[in-house]
Structures are given as structure tokens and as C-alpha cells.
Structure 1
Amino acid sequence: MGESVVVDIEKLVQGGYGLARLEGRTLFVRGAAPGEQVEVRLGPARGQYQEAWVQRVVRASADRVAAPCEVYGRCGGCQFQHLHYGSELHWKKEILLETLKRVGKIDGLPMPEVVPSPSEYGSRGVVRFGLLRRGNGFALGFHEEGSVRLVAATDCLLLTTVLREQVRVIQTRLGAMASLGCLVHSIELRASSTFDQTLMIVRTDAAHQRAIGRVTDLAQDLPDLVGLVVLGERGGREQRWVEGQDWIAERLDDLLFRIGDRSFMQSNWAVTQSLVQTVIEWTEPTVGLRVLELFAGIGTLGLPLAKRGSLVTMVESNPWASADARRAAKGNHIGRCRFRVAPVEQFLTAEPSMEYDVILLDPPRTGLNRDCVQGLLRADHARLLYVSCDPPTLARDLRRLLDGGYRIVRLQSFDMFPRTAHLETLVELAR
């Protein structure tokens, strides 16, 4: 381990790694660009595969740029800051195509260009930091890639302006604190893109009074802060303390949503708007169209369809997210909705009839389990609109659905997470 060699980078692959060959082994090189010749430090070998890290660029690609972040390469958050944004979008598309072919045995699909984020930096409205000791105080930090170790991060260029301001203030206060009075697992910040509202969520080992006092000091007079939530656990029971609101508001498709701290919130609201608009266009909602939304969350996909007259059943296992969806339906005067709080596979197993015209599904990164796939295969006439944030699990699930009689109609990718290796993809399937 630690040996340095010079290699040529052929292309980029899943995870944003550069691919190179060395004496019959495949190298996955972090920080490289296609067409480059680089000197790399080798990591431990794993069979025929080996990780490596760029130490020196011998022959640079025309697409290489200077990464603006001072901890890029150590922090595990970003993988593409060293590439021109246009090149990043190109390679995300190519990686998706290669992953569909390699994992799903799916080839020859027409692939439109990735819908870009309006801003490559400054677009993320949700962030979660860990805490580490630094000097006599503490520091906010992000995980190193593939590690539990934290890298101190005094700033993050991906964040919106107001969150960057908050991070600077919190970091200054943490640096002056000799003790926090408890073990702080994480500090999460959320910002609305529509309103001047932010929310701070602190996860601790126990939300006792001394810990709450220190956390309140951290949150004092932060710009646009409307609420502070402190979560802890004692005796196996959740402790919860709230000052102000435990939610922020967002607007989507001219609908008002109230997103609580226990509900999932998309981090790039501008790209979410583009995704939802595409779902509306592909679904072509009409009065009476029967829609099933699985993994519904707060209803960002289903409620815009219900607003246009569709009959929407929303299935979500998180009761707080489902409550936020109900509240949004009521507040926006939408009455064509049913809400079911249940795991998706449980709902699909118990549903006596799958007489739906369209099924929307937006599963977590792990994708669909086999029970979910079997349930979907019972829907003989429904079109599927599958939103995925992970190309490998998408490719796996598409292969299962194709083997069950579905065909891919079209797909479109969205750069929800610029400068990272993540990619959001919408796929329409039909019988």
C-alpha cells in the first residue's frame, strides 16, 4: 500500500471514479478526469480491483478545473469539483447508460441530456454535520469518503447563502465551547427556497436541560431561524424538545407544503420543481385518472396530479410525512386523495385490486425489494413512473420489471446533487 504509479484514465464509472488498468488489475481512481495521465497512490487490492488517489496530474484534461473547496478530496461529499460542470453532466449520463447495461442488461435506450441544476453551487437547502473536537472547542465536520472519520468543514459551497451564513456563526460559537453538556451526534440545517425560514435539528444522546441550554446558545439569533428541535433518547424512548416551529414551508407547483422535521425534505428545490413538472407532463392527469403513489412522503408527486382532478392514493410508512401530506391536501383544498400509513410491500400484499392507471414510486436508495416488485407486477394495465436516486439499484429493479412484462417507454435524468456522483432519474414503464 502507498506505492505510486503513472496510469492513463479511460473513462469515469459509477461513484465518479476514473477507470485505469495496471498489470491486469482495474484501478478506481479518485480525483481523475477521462483522457488524463496521472500519478496515483495505490490503496489495498481487492481481488482484481484496487482503489487509487491522484497525487499528480502528468497530462491534464481540458475539462479539469481547480476545485474551489479547501477540503475537496478529503471530505466525502463531492466527487466532481475538479471537472467543468458540462463535463460532469456528460459523464453522469454515460455512467447511467453503462450501469443500466452492466447491471440491468439494458442497452440501446435513447438518453436525453441530464437536466442541470440552475446553479452548480449554492443550491442545497438541507445539510447534516457531525461534530469533532478541535483545539479547546468543537468543529462541524463531514465524513471522509467510506469512513466514520470526520473532516472539519468551516464552509460548504453547495449550500444556499443563508445556510452558509448559519454555518459560519455556528462554527465560531462551537470553537469557543469547551463542553456541550452532552454527546451531539449531528446538527442538521434546513432552508426554505420560497420563504425566509430555516430549521435547526440537533440529535443528541439525551435531550436534558443542560444540553438544551448549550444547543440554544448555538442557535441564538441565526438568520431566518424559525425553529429549533433537539432530539435525544433515554431508556429506549425518544426525547424531543422544540422551540418555535418544528417545520418550514415550501411552495411547489403553486401548492403550499409544510415540511416537519420528521419528514424527508428534498435538498434542491429548483430541480425538484423540474422533476415534478416532468411527472405532470408524462402522466397527463385528467379528471378521474386513478393514481397510486408509493413511498409518497409529503406528496410532492401525487398532490399536483390530484389538483388536476386525478384520484390519488398515497402510501407512506412514515406517519409524520403522511400527516404533512394530509395537511397539504387540506390547506390547498384538494379533496381527491386517500392516505395510507403502511410499508409499501405490506400495502401491495393486502391490496385486493391493483386497478390503477398510473403508479408513482420514489423508493429510498436501496430501491425495491422483491415483495414490492411482485406487487407491481399484479398491476396489469398501469403505467409506472419510477423515480430513482441510485443507478445500480434502478438498473436491478428495471431488469426485474422488464422480466415481468414491462417495457421502458422513456427516461429523463435530473442533476439533483451537482458536484456529487448522485443522479436522480425518472423512468416511465408500460405493458
Structure 2
Amino acid sequence: MPVTVVESLDHEGRGVARVGGKAVFIEGALPGERVEYEVLRSRPNYEQAHTLRVLRPSAQRVAPPCPHYGVCGGCSMQHLDAVAQAAVKQRVLEDALWHVGRVRPGIVHAAIHGPAWGYRERARLTVRLVPSQGGVLLGFHQRRSSYVADMQVCPVLPPHVAAMLPALHELVAGLSIADRLPQIELACGDEATVLVFRILRPLTQADTRRLLAFAGQWQVRAWVQPEGPDSACPLQPDDEPGLYYTLPEFGLRMEYRPTDFTQVNARINRLLIRRAMQLLAPSAGERIADLFCGLGNFSLPIARAGAQVVGVEGSDALVRRAGENAGRNGLAANARFYAANLFEATEDSLAALGPLDKMLIDPPREGAIAVVKALGAQCRPARIVYVSCNPATLARDAAVLVHEKGYALRGVGIANMFPQTSHVESVALFEYAGERPAGASRV
């Protein structure tokens, strides 16, 4: 088998080496290591491989604690020290900004850290009934595969959830619809945990009794979802989800349904909001747009500072939830929410939001290219805070902001939202560097 020395890590956490003029991407290898590897796929310009033996280990290598590591696709970086993971992600972000967008930040902010384990408060577990493999398989997908990595333990899940995995296997195996239950969605709030069972066939009375007994034993709420996310409902009609998370720094309580989008890591989310508010610096008298606002995760902290917030989100359900949260937190007068498809944003649609002093953008992985292209004379906020979950689309959008729209990238930094994975969450500050129309902003 070939042997090489690894030079760096790529955006997926794979070791990168150069062999015979080709880039070789080696799973499980770290920079500086000398490894023996096996090629899995060969192409004219690159090869994909995995590590067979580490002949000279890195000082940053650690023993992965999860017995499913290497098979399960949920984590890819458990073999790297958690602090080093954040440094790698920062380099991935800076490399993307330069190589994709040809932009460099004025400053690099310190990485936002949190717990390395037990942090994942949202998850979708795939379920398969495979008699040839012993019955019910339950877990995340295997690496590079649609097959299920059957998990009996999972150290990134909260301990009380990880502890119930063996019992969850037994529960599903005992249901009449074990072959028609493809997914279990997990949502943990500050005081409640909900399991949403995706069912493709109605439950029997015996199934319902089993689910309720499991919920009582493990102190969770059981919901069922027969169709799309809006069809999710409690197994017992009066069993409200009781899901909420708090933002103590801003005196906020955010309520949500188990199928609503929320961040998977509550502690990092609080720190991310703090960083975003420091960069945005909202104040009374300002009008600020929060685009892709969800249920108000950033909108309400902005409103709490006294600014007037215009939240825009593509999901009608989340717009309703944001408005309800604003009302419950006494901020209805400071926050208005609207449903719109921001992937089709135009100069006119942004202008319709009214004069804006600042803007926060928190898009999904696809980024916000339509929004940044629509910025112009009619909508040119002095400051934009961009929260990103994909360095490539952030870099693409940053190129438009800097090279076409007159903004400067003042600073950027990562938040380690998903420790043990290659996922990179970041927050960037852009400021308009050109002349703005008189009276357009009070910043």
C-alpha cells in the first residue's frame, strides 16, 4: 500500500497530500502525519483514500471515544483535538474567502468554543428494519453511504438521549409498523425533550400504548408525523411540546415546535448571538432587517436593544412563531415579521422593506446571493452582519459585497457549532466603504 506525508486538511476534514502530481484526500489523516493509505476512488486529477496505518502520528491526534467512529457519517474529526478542530475550521474559512471570493478580512475574531461532547440537541435518526442484519437499525447514515450506522451509543447527543438508544431500538422493533417508520426526529429544549416518529402507516392501539409507556419511562414527549412537517402532532392531544430555549443575556424565552428549525447547539447559539450583537451594535432609533430570521433567534435580541426590526423568512409557520415570540417577550411593537422568498429577492423587494440602517443575514447553506446582488441605491445598509453555515457560499457572497457593492470585510470568525464534524459556522462583519445618500443612515 502507498505511503505519504499529509500536508493539510480540506473542508471535509480529510488529510491532503500530493502524490505523483495528484491531490490525494485521505480520511482519518492529519497534517504532518506519515500514513499508509488505500485508494478508494481514482480520478485524473485527484484520488480519494482512507488511512490504513498512521506511521508517524501528529501531536494533535487523539483516540476517538465513539465505537462507531469511522463507520458513522455523523462525525469525521474525532481523531483531532477539539481545540485544533476550531483552528482547522478557521483556516478553511479564510482559505474559502480568498480562493473563492478573493477577499481577506480586516481582522480574524477569536473562535467561539463550547462543549465538545453532548451538545447536539437536534438530530434526525434514520430507522431501517433489516432482518438480515439482526432487525432494527437506528442511527445516522454511514460515511459515504445511504446505509444506516446502527448506533448503540452516541457521545455527541445529550447524555439523557444517548442513554435511551438501546431502549429506542427495542421500542421500534416491537411496533407493528417497524418497517414503516423511517425516521425519528429529536428536539431538546431547556426543560423538555420531544421525539417525533415519522410514520407511513397508522399506529395500532398496542403501538400507541408502547410509545406512551416509553415516553413516560424516559420522560420525553412522543409525537407522530404522518405526512409533512406541519402534520406533526402529539400522540396525546393535550400533550403540548413544552419546547423553548432561553437567551438569558437578553431576557428572552423562545418557544418552538419540534419540527421548527433551531440551532443544534444551544450554548454556542447563545455565544453566536452575543458576537453578532457586538458586531451589529443595534441601538434605539435604528431600523434593522433580519433576513432568513426563522423564529426570531436574532430578531428579538436586536429588538431588545431598542431598534425596530423587520424580520423576513420564507416559512409561513416560522413567521407566525416569530410574531408569537415577539408578543410573549413584550417586543411586538419593535418587531414585524413577513414571509417572502429571499432566494428571489430583487432591488424592489428590498426597497419595500423601507429605509434600513443595518442588516443581519442568516441564510441556509445555499447562501444569500440574490439578497447581496439586490443591494444598491435603494437599499444600502451601513453595516451587514452575515451568519453563515457554509464557507463556500459566504465567500461567493462576500465577493459580490466587496468587489461589486462597495463593502469592506471588517472581520470574520468561526463558531464551533458542530464539534467533531467538519461543519463550519461563522459570522462576518461588512461595512459600506463608499458614500451613502444623505440621511440614509444614522450609523
| TM-score normalized with structure 2 length | 0.89
Provide the C-alpha distance between the structure 2 equivalents of 1:26 and 1:126, rounded to a whole number of angstroms.
35
1:332 counterpart (321, 329, 332): 329
Deviations 1:12-45 (A, max 9, x none): 1111111011111100111011100001110111
Are 1:180 and 1:214, in contact at CA under 8 Å, matched by a contact in 2? no
Q: Which runs of structure 2 are paired with 1:61-140 in the superposition (5 Å)?
A: 61-107=58-104, 109-117=106-114, 119-132=115-128, 133=130, 135-140=133-138
340-349 vs 95-104, greater mean Cα deviation: 340-349
- Of Structure 1 and Structure 2, the greater strand share is in 1
Deviations 1:319-351 (A, max 9, x none): 221122111111111121111012124565434
Aligned residues: 420
Unaligned runs of 5+ in 2: 433-443
**Is 2:225 aligned against 1:231?**
yes
Identity of aligned residues (%): 29
- Distance of aligned partners of 1:212 and 1:324 in 2 relative to their CA distance in 1, 3 Å threshold: farther
Structure 2 residue 409 is the aligned partner of structure 1 residue 408: yes
3-state SS, counterpart of residue 119 of structure 2: coil
Distance 1:220 1:283 in 2: 42
CA contact (8 A) 2:171 2:211 kept: no
> Structure 2 counterpart of 1:155, which letter?
V
Query: 1:208 Cα deviation (Å)?
Result: 5.2
CA-to-aligned-CA distance 1:132-180 (integer Å, 9 cap, x gap): 2265531312112232111111111001122212323212333x53742
Letter in 2 for 1:110: I
Q: Which residue of 1 aligns with 2:423?
A: 422
CA contact (8 A) 1:288 1:311 kept: yes
Contact 2:390 2:425 in 1 (8 A): yes
Do residues 199 (structure 1) and 194 (structure 2) align?
A: yes
Indicate the SS of the match to 1:190: strand
Q: Give the 3 Å change call, closer, same or farther, for CA 240–427 of structure 1 in structure 2.
A: closer
Deviation at 1:181, TM superposition (A): 5.2
Corresponding residue of 1:25: 22
- When structure 1 is superposed on structure 2, of 129-138 and 261-270 the one drifting more is 129-138
Q: Does the 8 A contact of 1:64 with 1:83 survive in 2?
A: yes
* Alpha carbons 1:232, 1:238 under 8 Å: kept: no
The C-alpha deviation readout for 1:205-261, integer Å capped at 9, x for no partner, is: 244556963872584325331x3221123xx99754423124511111320111112
Determine if contact 1:5/1:41 at 8 Å carries over to the other structure: yes
Of 66-75 and 105-114, more deviation after overlay is shown by 105-114
Q: 1:355/1:215 Cα in 2 relative to 1: closer, same or farther (>3 Å)?
A: farther
- Aligned equivalent of 2:9, options 5, 8, 12: 12
Which of 338, 341, 350 is the matching residue for 2:339? 341
Q: Which residue of 2 aligns with 1:363?
A: 363
Normalising by structure 1, we get a TM-score of 0.91
Q: Mean alpha-carbon deviation: is it higher for 17-26 or for 281-290? A: 281-290
Amino acid across the alignment from 2:121 = G
Q: How does 1:167-316 map to 2 (within 5 A)?
A: 167-174=165-172, 176-177=173-174, 179-180=176-177, 183-192=180-189, 194-195=190-191, 197-207=192-202, 209=204, 213=208, 216=211, 219-225=214-220, 227-233=221-227, 239-243=231-235, 244-246=239-241, 248-252=243-247, 253-316=250-313
- 5+ residue gaps, structure 1: none
CA contact (8 A) 1:8 1:38 kept: yes
Return the letter of the residue paired with 2:208. G
Q: In the alignment, which residue of structure 1 is the partner of 2:315? A: 318
Asked if 2 retains the 8 angstrom alpha-carbon contact of 1:345 and 1:375, the reply is: no
Contact 2:314–2:339 at 8 Å: present in 1 too? Answer: yes
Any idea what SS the aligned residue of 1:398 has? Answer: helix
Question: 252-261 or 341-350, which moves further after superposition?
Answer: 341-350
Report SS of the residue matched to 1:94.
helix
Determine the C-alpha separation between the residues in 1 that align with 2:269 and 2:55. 40
1:293-333 CA-to-partner distances (Å, cap 9, x unmatched) read 11000101010110121000111111221122111111111
Contact 1:247 1:261 (8 Å CA) reproduced: no
CA change 1:137–1:179 in 2 (3 A) is farther
Matches of 2:157 and 2:300, distance apart in 1: 28
**1:388 aligned onto 2:388:** yes
Residue 222 and residue 285 in structure 1: after superposition, are their counterparts in 2 closer, same or farther (change >3 A)? Answer: farther
Separation in 2, partners of 1:212, 1:237: 21
Match of 1:375 in 2: 374
